Structure 1
Amino acid sequence: MREKHGLNGWWKFQVDPKDQGEREAWYKNGLAEVRQVEVPHIWQREEEYVQYCGTGWYEKQFAPMEIPPGKHVYLCFGAVDFQARVWLNGSFIGEHEGGFTPFEFDVTTYMNKGDMNRLTVRVFDPQDNAEIPIGKQGSWYTRISGIWQDVALELRSECFIRHVHILPNIDEGHVETRLVLSADPREALTIEYAVMDHGNPQHKQPIIHEVISGAERKAQHIIPIQDEILWTPEHPHLYDLIATVRDEGGAVIDEISTYFGMRKIEYKDGELLLNNRPLYIRGALDQGFYPDTIYTAPSEEWIQKEISLAKQMGFNLLRKHIKVEIPSYLYWADRMGMLIWAETPNVVKWSEQSRQRFHNELVGMIDRDFNHPSIVIWSLYNEEWGLEWDLANDTEKQEHVKKLYDEIKQLDPTRLICDNSGWIHVKTDINDYHRYFVLPEQAEEWKSDIDDYMVGNPEKNFVAGHEPQGQPIIVSEFGVWGLPSLQKMFEYYGGMPSWFQNLGDDTHREDFKSPLMALANFEKYQLKRIFGDFEQLSICSQRRMLRAVKQLIEEMRKRPQISGYVVTEFTDIEWETNGWMDYNRNLKAGFDRASNFNGSLIVMADQVKRNLWSGEEQAWDAVIVNNDLRNLDGVLHWKIANTDVRGSIAIHEGEKGFVRLTDAIKFAVPPVPKASFFTLKLTLELDGEVVASNEEELTLTPKVQMPPLLVCAYGMDSRFKSSLETNGLIVVDQLEAPALVITSRLDDTVLDYYRNGGHVLFLAEEGDSLPEKGQFTFRELTEGESWDRTSSFNYVDSSYFDDLPVHPEMGWEMEGLFPEYIVPLSNYNKLGGTVGRVVYMFGNEGIVETSQVISGYFQGWIGQAGASMLIQRSAEGSLTLTTWKLKDHYGKHPIATQVIHSLIAKCTVKEEA
């Protein structure tokens, strides 16, 4: 094998903000104002350089080395971001641009034979990065600059093996090797291949000899694999391959070692197949950022732990999002059986130069990572980033994407290609979607989006003139935020981390993306009164996140037309907190049980009505998803905990991947003393062992009438009035008589009544559509798919409704009742007109000084805030405003009914007092 000398370790480093180093020949004179840094090095890890863009210089001295006759010395860089110019002993040896892929120089003639060698590297990372592949570093999160991967010297022959790409063929039981030499050989050479189990030379298979003539630089060979063992996520078997080149006399010219796995990935009739068996992707978006090291994993042990945690949570794939992942991560993915979806960092601007740079990184990634069996999908583009978001209408860009697809498919026919992840497709092997909905608020919208758009009309996800050809449907981005523990964060960093001020660019500076906003707004918007401290808020936020992603995933898994999903995302990254783990890799609350809905074998209830009256008759389906095709011969048990309601069903379904048991869960809702939370529990037993379990949140409510109180339903419709009477209340028409006025019309008459000591319940759920709403303005929350809204959080002071089952984070008890409007407390934007121009709107922070906020809404780090229930008081009266959707659900929905009754009771008690 080749002799290698590592150059990692301590280097001199100096920033050059005026870019004077090359003019002043620092490469000859040496660096002056230096600090010692450890390479691999990202200069943004240094607090004073966290926002520095421009030029930095590195210098390393190393001892002379013996160079045997006929050998050359190559200086090899794993990756330098972005442009590197390199000198050795004062002589310029070359330059390279591109921040993610390896490069090298032949430095044989520049090496000192007896004296120390001095290596100098000028790294330039421009502030204007629109035409360079960056991914999200420097745009969404902390920027990356410097020599951030390994540096080494390697001895090679004049003619050496550039690479060996290995193409497995499991159906024929062989691999095809594509070997490329560095130069045309001057003589006939012999190439030998030896194959063995990974790390086990005792299991060496026969050596294959092939002769390559003197004029050939490339060679292809077929190598049979005896008794092949397939690579799968469950059994990730690897083979080592040693390639040896000998001259005419039999002497070894070059020898390298690589490894591969026998696996096959394809699609057929809308289904993914791994090794000719159905594959269902259960993936997570992984952007590969780290709290200390930013863009490189802190250690191999860290990587192994991450992959183990991913598998424990039920994942079988990580989508390495617009980042060329470091080689050690891919190695452990191969070793541990984690599928990888790889994609190139994007550019922003559409130009000839940016396209060439992008192409260089894409091909460089594939060249470097070709033999990793874990990689099953290459992405070309993500959401048209680099295509300037006009692929649907721009035929030049469409032709560019098709040509690039064809090129990469020819370069690597062993993997699937996604042309434009998440958005409209041109030529692709994957029909994937990025769809962001928040649940429970948008539960029905999510179901409709799946059924009527993604599954029902997949052709809508292709440009005009192109139709789907049986590509598998994958929802490759979706997710919901869950705020991390600030206490754990500050303990980890020993204080506030630098990224709390948001180190992304100006396109990501909205208030809800700044962690500093949470510190400023937690008390201002009365959250301290409701939650006590931020730790309790983060726990509630994480519970809400778990509830949301569980149902998002289960709705997809109930539809076998979908071939998988990739949740956003694996871990938090700086200000973006939609990870199932926080930035420091702590599991968020409840995600230790994520495999209950994210595992290969799960059981679910379907068509569940979550808020029930005592005495109702119910019949729900049970669904079993069996990705591993286990033999389903067992028993399904179900029960409503803390009641006598339960049942069991014998199952004899064989090796089916999807089973629906219609009306498997039938019961009458039992009597309960008061409205309370209950849990439906499901367990699946196979061979006497519980192999899957799940839970659903319910509320059960008795029908209880109100005392015969006088209320005025001012301007309300006859149905609402009738429901009040049915529930025991006395409805009158005179505004002066009752203890309480219930209305959706805040006109002068009602306001005078309030100011004169009356109590008003203002049902303002229609927001700005109300013709008379007094001094209040409203903000309509975004309908349909919305990335911003998935960061949102609806909350309530549950102690105000201490007699009702209401979660502080507002869960399934609020199904159908979530507000569509809020009273805005902070400024916000909306899109207006047919061209979607931004309209700047204003909130009223003063409301928190004049009102008691009972429930509210915010996005992200307590930005974009609003109130959905508040109380204002006159000298003796009160005005309770709510935008909860109660009016039409009163008398029908158990919780809506109880909330109205609770609000009436609180107002009338105050009146009597």
Structure 2
Amino acid sequence: MTEDPTFPRPQLRRADWRDLSGTWDFAYDDQNIWRSPAEVTFDRRITVPFPPESPASGVHDTDFHAVVWYRCRVPLRGPERPVAGERRLLLHFGAVDYRASVWVNGQLVAEHEGGHTPFSADISAVAGDAPALDVVVRAEDDPHDLSQPRGKQDWKQEPHVIWYHRTTGIWQPVWLEWVPDVHLTALRWTPDPDRKEVRLQLRLVTPPPSGWRTRVTLRLRGDLLAEQTVALTGRDASLTLSLAHAAGTYDKDELLWSPRFPNLIDALIEVIRPDGQVSDTVYSYAGLRSVEVSDGRFLLNGVPYFLRLVLAQNYWPESHLAAPSPDHLRREVELAKELGFNGVRIHQKIEDPRFLYWCDRLGLVVWGEAANAFLFTSDAQERLTREWLEALRRDVSHPCIVAWVPLNESWGVPNLERDPAQRHFVKGLYHLTRSLDFTRPVVANDGWEHVAGNILGIHDYALNAEVLRERYGSHEQIERTFASVQPHFRNIFTDGHHRSDEAVMLTEFGGLSIRPQNDEQWWGYATVGSAEALLSAYDTLVSAVLSSDVLMGFCYTQLTDTAQETNGLLRADRTPKVDPAQLRAINRRPARSVPGDIVQDIHHDAQERAGTLGRRTLSAEPAPS
């Protein structure tokens, strides 16, 4: 099976699926009076998966609507109908914001809470011999509930400061999938470059009968790396596949995953019946790489690595949190790379898995961040924790993700310094995340008031490069900053926390805008008068960060203009404000804190000259699949 960048779940792919995107019936339920599909009066049409607030949906209504309904009729051909004991039919939702109920042919089949994470339903029984599926979705998304994880979605009528139009209801793909009666439901890849092996944990929908097996085949660019068959004795199975033989055949840069060399190991996983017939066939991939923090250094594959990140809202004017098309997800990755960044910090959004696929495939590291609530209540704690666990389970196998960020700038824990309960919650999220994934560092509360974490992420929008040098130039200067400076008027540490062996990074800075016209809506940290001035200011700020003896990375605010927040390096339509080549040259200067950093950039340039990165001219047009 060839790669399919449109498949909504890239690391567990099957050939037999159908995208349900397109025109659906739609209705508002502002009085919250309808309780079943039979009561609903559908009086509108909407294009799924675009939120009704967006122009792309065809509705484009940004008013407050807490409850919405969807309906779609899906004809089924004979071979597509489920067969008891042989073939099942699954209905998948990539994300529905925020609380969803789903009926098929009049029967409730699924309920889910969490606006950024997927859920599914086995609809075989309700589909039966019916000629079609009548799919109805009710989505509830209270715009005024600030204990609900919402990220950058505004609770006011019009976007203000750094918040944007809301995203209600369906905003990621809806799709059908046909699977055998005994099939895989989850995979988890854990790479171990030191031992030259990868571990695969898999789960079946149900414990299989005696005699069933699974066979896993790994290939790199078509060449066989490893193959292993094990007996299936329950729902869960674990395999460790040795790559020691391959490690002796390939150079390190041909086998390990990194942004410079995004090598992916293709995987075929088969579930085999006792008679030798294959019941289920799944296509996946893994990346062999390690990431850790040790003695104040960020290490990728055991080598100090300087992170050059850009803050990415991944928000489009025409479709809001939803991407306008799968091609736009690829283009967003290409844009960041073309500007010379080696990674993105996805901000207050759990991004579409297809975006992570392109980061894996093209080579861009990612900080995976939760969408936070704004109040601290028991409901808020439970909601964020539940959704964060679902995000970890969904995305843990993507090699591009090199750090987890459950909280940003004390959002949802606004009294962190004075409330021990809030501090325990932050520490609990850190330890819970590390217990579920010990292979990545965790930034428990990025930017402010650190009480736990492997990386000290600092947000500092000082606009004088000399101020940045004085604050972060050396170990002594950073210790003085920790003790006596409050960047952005917030303490860096609280609850007696202090730096031990964490890596220090400037994870938000810059935020420069070109001075707006008189009638232009604008919010930002500072303005400059022209594109030339923007490039010059960017140069001086980044140069100051790169001159530090201590900093192991930066994250510039931000990649694109987003609504009224016009401090992007690109406009909202993804056209550049300054020469991309000049930005790229600035971003690729060596970092003083990482010896040999310039060698990495030279290798990267050589790879581009060889044509292996697939770079294209910067433009607003999406890349072809």
Are 1:434 and 2:459 matched, yes or no?
A: yes
Secondary structure of the 2:406 match is strand
Are 1:68 and 2:83 matched, yes or no?
A: yes
Identify the match of residue 558 of structure 1 among 547, 553, 563: 547
Aligned AA (1:446):
L
- State the partner residue of 1:882: none
- State the partner residue of 2:228: 208
Are 1:16 and 2:29 matched, yes or no?
A: yes
Secondary structure of the 2:310 match is strand
- State the partner residue of 1:220: 238
Secondary structure of the 1:49 match is coil
Pair 1:630–1:323, CA change in 2 (3 A)? closer
Following the alignment from structure 2 to structure 1, what is the Cα–Cα distance between the partners of residues 42 and 453?
A: 53
- State the partner residue of 1:797: none
- State the partner residue of 1:119: 135
- State the partner residue of 1:181: 204
**1:180, 1:217 within 8 Å by CA — same for their partners in 2?**
yes
Following the alignment from structure 2 to structure 1, what is the Cα–Cα distance between the partners of residues 148 and 363?
A: 33
**2:314, 2:321 within 8 Å by CA — same for their partners in 1?**
yes
Secondary structure of the 1:594 match is helix
- State the partner residue of 2:256: 230
Identify the match of residue 267 of structure 1 among 272, 285, 293: 293
Following the alignment from structure 2 to structure 1, what is the Cα–Cα distance between the partners of residues 530 and 73?
A: 52
Secondary structure of the 2:578 match is coil
Identify the match of residue 627 of structure 1 among 597, 601, 617: 597
**1:12, 1:31 within 8 Å by CA — same for their partners in 2?**
no
- State the partner residue of 2:304: 278
Q: CA deviation at 1:128?
A: 1.8
Pair 1:207–1:560, CA change in 2 (3 A)? same
**2:304, 2:594 within 8 Å by CA — same for their partners in 1?**
no
Following the alignment from structure 2 to structure 1, what is the Cα–Cα distance between the partners of residues 71 and 564?
A: 34
Identify the match of residue 403 of structure 1 among 423, 428, 431: 428
Identity %, equivalent residues: 28
Following the alignment from structure 1 to structure 2, what is the Cα–Cα distance between the partners of residues 256 and 125?
A: 35
**2:443, 2:455 within 8 Å by CA — same for their partners in 1?**
yes
- State the partner residue of 1:98: 114
Aligned AA (1:43):
P
- State the partner residue of 1:470: 501
- State the partner residue of 1:447: 469
Q: CA deviation at 1:249?
A: 3.0
Q: CA deviation at 1:141?
A: 0.6
- State the partner residue of 1:42: 51
Give the length in aligned residue pairs: 558
- State the partner residue of 1:875: none
Q: CA deviation at 1:359?
A: 1.2
Deviates further, 297-306 or 103-112 = 297-306
Q: CA deviation at 1:467?
A: 2.9
Following the alignment from structure 1 to structure 2, what is the Cα–Cα distance between the partners of residues 242 and 624?
A: 38
Identify the match of residue 165 of structure 1 among 175, 188, 202: 188
Following the alignment from structure 2 to structure 1, what is the Cα–Cα distance between the partners of residues 180 and 229?
A: 20
Q: CA deviation at 1:158?
A: 4.0
1:312-461 aligned at under 5 Å gives the runs: 312-388=338-414, 390-439=415-464, 443-451=465-473, 454=478, 456=480, 458=482, 461=492
Identify the match of residue 52 of structure 1 among 64, 76, 96: 64
1:498-537 aligned at under 5 Å gives the runs: 513=523
Secondary structure of the 1:44 match is coil
Identify the match of residue 549 of structure 1 among 533, 538, 541: 538
Q: CA deviation at 1:84?
A: 1.1
Are 1:584 and 2:610 matched, yes or no?
A: no
Q: CA deviation at 1:596?
A: 3.1
Following the alignment from structure 1 to structure 2, what is the Cα–Cα distance between the partners of residues 630 and 314?
A: 12
Following the alignment from structure 1 to structure 2, what is the Cα–Cα distance between the partners of residues 624 and 184?
A: 50
**1:242, 1:255 within 8 Å by CA — same for their partners in 2?**
yes
Aligned AA (2:597):
N
CA deviations 1:516-535 (Å, max 9, x no partner) are: xxxxxxxxxxxxxxxxxxxx
- State the partner residue of 1:146: 169
Aligned AA (2:283):
S
Identify the match of residue 302 of structure 1 among 328, 335, 338: 328
Aligned AA (1:219):
A
Secondary structure of the 2:442 match is strand
**1:434, 1:478 within 8 Å by CA — same for their partners in 2?**
yes
Are 1:244 and 2:263 matched, yes or no?
A: no
**2:99, 2:139 within 8 Å by CA — same for their partners in 1?**
yes
Following the alignment from structure 1 to structure 2, what is the Cα–Cα distance between the partners of residues 298 and 87?
A: 27
Following the alignment from structure 1 to structure 2, what is the Cα–Cα distance between the partners of residues 424 and 103?
A: 34
Following the alignment from structure 1 to structure 2, what is the Cα–Cα distance between the partners of residues 550 and 354?
A: 41
- State the partner residue of 1:901: none
Pair 1:426–1:538, CA change in 2 (3 A)? closer
Following the alignment from structure 1 to structure 2, what is the Cα–Cα distance between the partners of residues 32 and 87?
A: 15
Deviates further, 183-192 or 452-461 = 452-461
Structure 2 unaligned segments of length 5 or more: list them.
1-13, 156-162, 248-254, 484-490, 604-625
CA deviations 1:352-405 (Å, max 9, x no partner) are: 2111111122111111112211110110111111112x2233322222222222
Aligned AA (1:6):
D
Deviates further, 88-97 or 110-119 = 110-119
Q: CA deviation at 1:408?
A: 1.5
Are 1:28 and 2:50 matched, yes or no?
A: no
**2:376, 2:422 within 8 Å by CA — same for their partners in 1?**
no
**1:323, 1:343 within 8 Å by CA — same for their partners in 2?**
yes
**1:245, 1:253 within 8 Å by CA — same for their partners in 2?**
yes
Larger relative contact order (Cα-Cα within 8 Å, sequence gap ≥ 6)? 2
Q: CA deviation at 1:173?
A: 0.8
Following the alignment from structure 1 to structure 2, what is the Cα–Cα distance between the partners of residues 630 and 40?
A: 40
Q: CA deviation at 1:552?
A: 1.8
Secondary structure of the 2:246 match is coil
Following the alignment from structure 1 to structure 2, what is the Cα–Cα distance between the partners of residues 266 and 318?
A: 18
Structure 1 unaligned segments of length 5 or more: list them.
488-495, 502-511, 515-536, 604-622, 633-654, 656-913
Following the alignment from structure 1 to structure 2, what is the Cα–Cα distance between the partners of residues 538 and 268?
A: 38
Following the alignment from structure 1 to structure 2, what is the Cα–Cα distance between the partners of residues 45 and 551?
A: 38
CA deviations 1:129-188 (Å, max 9, x no partner) are: 312111102250111012111111222344432211011111111001111223333434
Aligned AA (1:478):
F
Aligned AA (1:627):
D
Secondary structure of the 1:227 match is helix
Q: CA deviation at 1:255?
A: 2.7
Following the alignment from structure 1 to structure 2, what is the Cα–Cα distance between the partners of residues 306 and 104?
A: 28
Following the alignment from structure 1 to structure 2, what is the Cα–Cα distance between the partners of residues 120 and 184?
A: 31
Aligned AA (1:408):
T
Following the alignment from structure 2 to structure 1, what is the Cα–Cα distance between the partners of residues 328 and 135?
A: 31
Q: CA deviation at 1:566?
A: 0.3
**2:370, 2:406 within 8 Å by CA — same for their partners in 1?**
yes
Higher Cα radius of gyration:
1
**1:557, 1:625 within 8 Å by CA — same for their partners in 2?**
no
